[in-house]
Amino acid sequence: MTTMATTLAKSAKSEAAAASEKSAESANRTVGGAGALDVAARIEHVSKSFATPAGQQLVLDDITLDVARGEFVTLLGASGCGKSTLLNLVAGLDRPTAGAIGTDGRPALMFQEHALFPWLTAGKNIELALRLRGVPKAERREKAEELLSLVRLQGAHGKRVHELSGGMRQRVALARALAQDSQLLLMDEPFAALDAITRDVLHDELMRIWRETGVSVLFVTHNVREAVRLAQRVVLLSSRPGRVAREWSVDIDQPRRIEDAAVAELSVEITEQLRGEIRRHGQH
């Protein structure tokens, strides 16, 4: 499948999940335990396996994790440890093999690729999410403009995707995710493809938007410094099968810089733990 086709397939899948209210399972996920408690997401003893020619492969094993309302949590681990799989389960794009997931309303999902429809303008991409949410047509333009302003892209409503830089495209993707009016934002390595300077700028923007909106964030990354730079809490998954290996509360004042001494110090500690998990995996 081409990159463009992959992008469109992911985007369509995400928007279909955001719009669908039909399945009883989905209703149970969003109305169940999490909504009655002070959490945005509750993951309870979740495991996930996939069928392979050699038999069932266990990817996630007995994951239990809460994300509090308004909390920013980064999910860290080596490639292939199941981070994105867990995010897809929380988003409702797949079902766990065992365990239960509850969320406070339907989550919004932002991918590593911007997943914007290239034949729509920046504003129309956002308006599409608003339409799927049921916002009346007469209100969509104004709300899209407000969201573009929130991500500091005033005046970009009529710009096509090819006219936008990589960082601008990710801002539009973030605005589109926020258009779903979700209390939980799931972010799957959204800045991994950007250069270091653009990524640093978008870190600042994400922190500002998080503070202004009060949304809860579960952010997947393999970059230790990025995890520490952003999060209130860092959760490390072991190498496959993914288990919660350790958690760290990040008691470093914001705003933080990725080069700050305190960020570097905690990053070294987490990196050593991550290396240990990778070594253990390599021995099996």
In SS3 terms, 233-280 reads as EEEEECCCCECEEEEEECCCCCCCCCCCHHHHHHHHHHHHHHHHHHHH
The closest of 110, 192, 122 to 161, measured between CA atoms, is: 122
Return the pLDDT at 282: 62
- Residue of 26, 27, 66, 47 whose CA lies nearest to 232: 66
pLDDT score at 152: 92
Alpha-carbon torsion (142, 213, 226, 38), positive or negative: negative
pTM for the predicted model, two decimal places: 0.84
| Dist. CA 108–CA 183, nearest whole Å | 8
Closest-CA residue to 242 (of 34, 25, 65)? 65
Helix or strand run (H / E) with residue 134: none
Sign of CA dihedral 223, 226, 227, 228: positive
The residues spanned by each domain of the chain are 32-107+183-282
211 Cβ neighbours under 8 A, 6+ residues apart = none
Q: Return the CATH superfamily for domain 32-107+183-282.
A: P-loop containing nucleotide triphosphate hydrolases (3.40.50.300)
Ranges of residues in the chain with a pLDDT under 50 are 1-28, 30-33, 35, 283-284
